[in-house]
């Protein structure tokens, strides 16, 4: 029988900088779901990746002195490393700078333009650079960007618009008739009441103010709005093409679930479905919006110095403990919180005590009392029946909870079984049973029930803590690990011999751990300083600044330098009575005749240098306005020779 398909995606992370542990949450969550579905026999395709275009990335790259491509290559590499470190079993890692994706996004844009869903007009409004979004005055909150709360500035540009408004009714109908499409329910209400009901406005889908994006191929001074580019990844990554989709696309589309953070639900439940409607493609079955992971009660941010990275955590606690903590700590409808105290506590109580001790004690007792042999169980006592029922019921419960993406509840159910097993040990007192010959028969049954329950735990934990599950199976020395083997109790083979007892999680000494954490924090603080220096420059005192002599100077003459395409030779009157020659790399942006008569600021005490045969005595000031846009600072109404301080 052909397996049922399941296509799951995460949001694609921005490559502005290395992502923190909060960003990694949904990747781990989606990985757990993907693994669970595979365990259940689905044919799963799991896609994650990186969102690599946009003005912010262009600016960060410039501040770091590298090209945008170099910058995104580095960060995408870091993100991939984090995925590998966290044992993410993605089937495809898409990058929006992949040539095949870029080409396909251009085709999507063109198709929508040709059919009249995208049209050219002019935009006038307030622009938020970090969010790359235009807003009308009425959409601003206290005069600031409604999404991120930062300053906006007036902007006007020729732009392409997407006729979102045309699809409003169709979208409403889809949401209405597919009750599980927006999940959880609270997010659905938010989308409908805050965004859809007030009326959808056409969306500005191109930009001309920067270059680092996918160009509109039939009008290349425009780049395609980063969200149109980014959202398309879900389809292009599996081979969508307006000219004819691939076999993979035909097999896996529509997505069964897009897992995204609550902050970007709007893009996924409004813009993306409308894009698909316009393209005539089926809509995803579900968009699941998860909560945020906070540091204590604060948002994580590098400048606040409270950012936690996956690689640091993995080094401190180990990969499965990090996966467990993230998944167990995030509630379904409120934000989760990460603190080192809480992590240490959960590690010691849940992993070392509840799970680790259970496995260790049981395997050790089997070795001690029966030389590792797994005995045949005898007739049930009421306690046994209760444990067996709980084990089988736990499978059903986990199944139901995961169908609703209630991950932390599912883990809680699994750990409730582990706790019940520990209680069963206390109730049955195997060490007492071991003392008498008649007790040994009962002891064999007790240990069988425990070992089999531990096997249940191993199977159920595979999607969440894959290394731990493997170690459990090694200790049980079993290869009976499939999902169908936990639909009934008693599939652990009688007569086989368990392995050696190996502690799954050694207890953490909090004092010792905090010492290690402090060391890491100090080096992280240093890194923040270095980053700041990169962007804002090294701090200098006024005495340093006063060493630089700046003067107003008039350009009396200007010509191209024959040997150097980039250079112009300027002759300046800086008020000293002696003409000053300066070579400046601005030939690409200015014709010599446009500069004669203009006044500029010159650094007059710069050491002379010879550039392509021209002795340059100073430097004029200019602004880097965009990647390929340099503008000279003109001060035409100032007197020649005036000092600037
Ligand atoms: N690039 C966009 C997504 C485009 S999808 C077509 C983006 N990137 S992001 O890097 O800012 O965020 C990636 C994911 O991480 C988003 O789903 C976002 O909601 C999520 N999170 C960001 N910070 C988070 C926490 N602190 N906690 C949990 N998830 C968080 O948005």
Q: Output the domain CATH number for residue 406.
A: 1.10.730.10
Cα of 13 from ligand 1 centre, angstroms: 6
The answer to whether residues 151 and 144 touch, using CB atoms and an 8 Å cutoff, is yes
Tokens coding 517 = 């954490």
* Residue 426 CA, ligand 1 centroid: distance in Å: 45
Atom 25 of ligand 1 has which residue's CA nearest to it? 22
Which atom in ligand 1 lies closest to the alpha carbon of residue 336? 27
Query: What are the residues whose beta carbons fall under 8 Å from the beta carbon of 384, sequence distance 6 or more?
Result: 377, 445, 446, 449
Residue from 177, 247, 258, 185 nearest 6 by CA: 258
For residue 586, give the CATH number of its domain: 2.40.50.140
Residue 517 lies inside a defined structural domain of this protein: yes
Whether ligand 1 lies within 6 angstroms of the CB of 231 is answered as: yes
C-beta 300 within 6 A of ligand 1: yes
Q: Same domain, yes or no, for 369 and 465?
A: yes
Establish if 349 belongs to a structural domain.
yes
- 539 and 609, same domain (yes or no): yes
pLDDT at res. 151: 87
Looking at residue 303, its pLDDT comes to: 63
pLDDT of residue 300: 77
> Residue of the nearest CA to atom 22 in ligand 1?
23
Ligand 1 centre distance from Cα of residue 292 (Å)? 9
Beta bridge partners of 602: 551, 620
398 and 438 in one domain?
yes
Distance CA 423, CA 337 (A): 30
Which atom of ligand 1 sits closest to the CA of residue 263? Answer: 19
Residue 535 and residue 552 in contact, taking contact as beta carbons nearer than 8 Å: no
Pick the atom of ligand 1 nearest to 233's CA: 6
Is 78 a member of any domain? no
Q: Are 93 and 78 within 8 A, CB to CB?
A: no
Say whether both 471 and 533 belong to one domain: no
In a domain, 502, yes or no: no
Please indicate whether residue 49, judged by its CB atom, sits closer than 6 Å to ligand 1: no
Do 477 and 525 lie in one domain? The reply is no
Q: How far apart are CA 345 and CA 342, in angstroms?
A: 5
Strands (DSSP E) contained in 167-309 are 182-183, 203-204, 206-207, 223-224, 257-261, 287-290, 293-295
User: If you take atom 19 of ligand 1, which residue's CA is the nearest one?
Assistant: 261
Tell me which residue of 83, 89, 90, 506 sits closest to 310, measured CA to CA.
Answer: 83
Residue 615 and residue 514 share a domain: yes
Query: Could you tell me if 438 and 538 lie in one domain?
Result: no
Among residues 486, 520, 541, the one where a domain terminates is 486
Q: Which of 424, 454, 486 is the last residue of a domain?
A: 486
Residue 564: predicted pLDDT: 82
One domain for residues 482 and 373: yes
Burial track 601-634 (b if 16+ CB lie within 10 A, e otherwise): bbbbeeeeeebeebebbbbbebeeeeeeeeebeb
- Pocket lining: 350 vs ligand 1, CB cutoff 6 Å: no
- Please state the pTM of the whole predicted model: 0.82
Chain mean position to CA 582: 48
The answer to the question of residue 416 being in a domain is yes
Q: Does any ligand 1 atom lie closer than 6 A to the CB of residue 23?
A: yes
Query: Is the CB–ligand 1 distance for residue 293 below 6 Å?
Result: yes
Range of the domain at 593: 510-644
Q: Same structural domain for residues 477 and 565?
A: no
Q: Which of 486, 520, 553 is a domain's end point? A: 486
CB distance 473 to 460 below 8 Å: no
Query: Splitting the chain (645 residues) into consecutive groups of 10 residues, what average pLDDT does each group show?
Result: 94 93 95 98 98 94 93 97 97 98 98 98 84 80 86 88 96 94 92 90 91 96 96 98 96 98 95 98 98 85 76 95 96 90 96 98 98 94 96 98 97 98 98 94 97 98 98 98 98 96 96 91 71 64 87 95 88 93 91 93 92 90 78 93 92
Pocket of ligand 1 contains residue 14 by CB under 6 Å? yes
Which phi and psi angles does 223 have, rounded to 5°? Answer: -110, 155
Distance 24 CA to ligand 1 centre (A): 9
Q: How many domains does the chain have?
A: 2
Query: Which residue has the CA at smallest separation from atom 18 of ligand 1?
Result: 261
Q: For ligand 1, pick from 8, 11, 230, 273 the residue to mutate: most ligand atoms within 8 Å of CB.
A: 11
470 in a structural domain: yes
Q: Is residue 261 in contact with ligand 1, taking CB distance under 6 Å? A: yes
Residue nearest to atom 6 of ligand 1 (CA): 231
Q: Is 330 in the pocket of ligand 1 (CB under 6 A)?
A: no
Same domain, 536 and 629: yes
For the CA of 13, the closest atom of ligand 1 is 10
* Residue 270 falls inside a structural domain: no
**Residue with structure tokens 């006038």?**
124
Ligand 1 atom nearest to 19, measured from its CA: 10
Q: 525 and 474 in one domain?
A: no
Identify whether residues 347 and 448 lie together within a single domain: yes
Question: Nearest 5°: phi and psi at 5?
Answer: -85, 155
Ligand 1 atom 10 nearest Cα: 13
In a domain, 426, yes or no: yes
Query: Closest Cα partner for 319 from 89, 521, 482, 522?
Result: 89
Mutate to test the pocket of ligand 1, among 261, 272, 293, 298 (most ligand atoms within 8 A of CB): 261
* 24, 264, 307, 313: residue to mutate for ligand 1 pocket, most atoms within 8 A of CB: 264
Which residues have CB under 8 Å from 135's CB, separation 6+? 125, 126, 127, 128, 145, 146, 152
**Do residues 330 and 407 touch, judged by C-beta distance below 8 A?**
yes
């Amino acid at each position: 029988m052909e397996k049922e398909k399941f296509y799951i995606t995460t949001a694609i992370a921005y490559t502005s900088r290395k992502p923190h542990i909060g960003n990694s949450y949904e990747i781990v969550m989606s990985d757990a779901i993907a693994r669970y579905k595979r365990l259940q026999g689905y044919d799963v395709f799991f896609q994650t990746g990186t969102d690599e275009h946009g003005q912010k990335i262009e600016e960060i790259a410039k501040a770091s002195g590298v090209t945008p491509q170099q910058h995104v290559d580095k960060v995408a590499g870091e993100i991939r490393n984090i995925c590998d470190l966290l044992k993410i079993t993605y089937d495809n890692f898409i990058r929006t700078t992949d040539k095949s994706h870029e080409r396909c996004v251009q085709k999507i844009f063109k198709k929508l333009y040709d059919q009249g869903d995208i049209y050219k007009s002019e935009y006038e409004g307030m622009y938020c650079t970090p969010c790359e979004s235009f807003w009308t005055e009425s959409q601003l909150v206290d005069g600031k960007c409604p999404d991120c709360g930062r300053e906006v500035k007036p902007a006007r540009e020729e732009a392409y618009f997407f006729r979102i408004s045309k699809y409003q009714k169709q979208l409403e109908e889809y949401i209405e008739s597919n009750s599980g499409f927006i999940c959880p329910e609270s997010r659905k209400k938010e989308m409908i009441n805050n965004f859809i009901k007030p009326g959808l406005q056409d969306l500005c889908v191109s930009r001309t103010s920067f270059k680092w994006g996918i160009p509109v191929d039939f009008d290349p001074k425009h780049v395609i709005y980063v969200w149109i580019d980014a959202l398309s990844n879900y389809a292009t990554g599996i081979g969508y093409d307006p000219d004819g989709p691939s076999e993979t696309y035909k097999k896996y589309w529509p997505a069964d679930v897009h897992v995204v953070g609550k902050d970007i639900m709007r893009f996924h439940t409004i813009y993306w479905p409308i894009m698909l409607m316009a393209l005539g493609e089926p809509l995803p079955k579900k968009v699941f919006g998860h909560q945020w992971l906070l540091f204590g009660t604060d948002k994580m941010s590098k400048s606040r110095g409270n950012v936690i990275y996956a690689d640091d955590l993995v080094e401190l606690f180990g990969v499965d403990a990090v996966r467990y903590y993230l998944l167990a700590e995030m509630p379904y409808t409120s934000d989760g919180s990460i603190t080192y105290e809480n992590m240490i506590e959960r590690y010691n109580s849940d992993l070392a005590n509840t799970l680790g001790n259970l496995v260790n004690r049981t395997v050790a007792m089997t070795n001690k009392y029966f030389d590792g042999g797994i005995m045949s169980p005898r007739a049930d006592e009421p306690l046994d029946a209760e444990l067996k029922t709980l084990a089988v019921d736990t499978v059903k419960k986990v199944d139901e909870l995961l169908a609703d993406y209630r991950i932390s509840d599912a883990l809680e159910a699994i750990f409730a079984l582990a706790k019940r097993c520990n209680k069963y040990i206390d109730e049955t007192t195997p060490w007492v049973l071991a003392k008498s010959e008649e007790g040994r028969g009962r002891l064999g049954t007790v240990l069988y029930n425990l070992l089999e329950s531990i096997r249940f735990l191993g199977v159920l934990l595979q999607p969440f803590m894959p290394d731990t599950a493997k170690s459990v199976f090694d200790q049980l020395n079993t290869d009976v690990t499939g999902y169908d083997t936990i639909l009934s109790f008693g599939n652990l083979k009688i007569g086989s011999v368990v392995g050696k007892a190996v502690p799954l999680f050694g207890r953490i000494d909090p004092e010792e751990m905090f010492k290690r954490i402090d060391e890491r924090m100090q080096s992280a603080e240093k890194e923040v300083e270095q980053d700041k220096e990169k962007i804002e420059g090294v701090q200098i005192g006024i005495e340093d600044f006063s060493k630089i002599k700046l003067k107003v100077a008039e350009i009396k003459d200007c010509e191209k330098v024959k040997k150097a395409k980039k250079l112009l030779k300027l002759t300046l009157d800086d008020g000293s009575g002696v003409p000053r020659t300066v070579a400046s790399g601005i030939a690409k942006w200015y014709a010599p005749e446009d500069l004669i008569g203009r006044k500029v600021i010159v650094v007059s005490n710069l050491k002379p240098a010879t550039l392509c045969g021209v002795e340059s005595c100073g430097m004029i000031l200019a602004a880097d306005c965009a990647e390929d846009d340099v503008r000279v600072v003109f001060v035409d109404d100032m007197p020649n020779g005036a000092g600037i301080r």
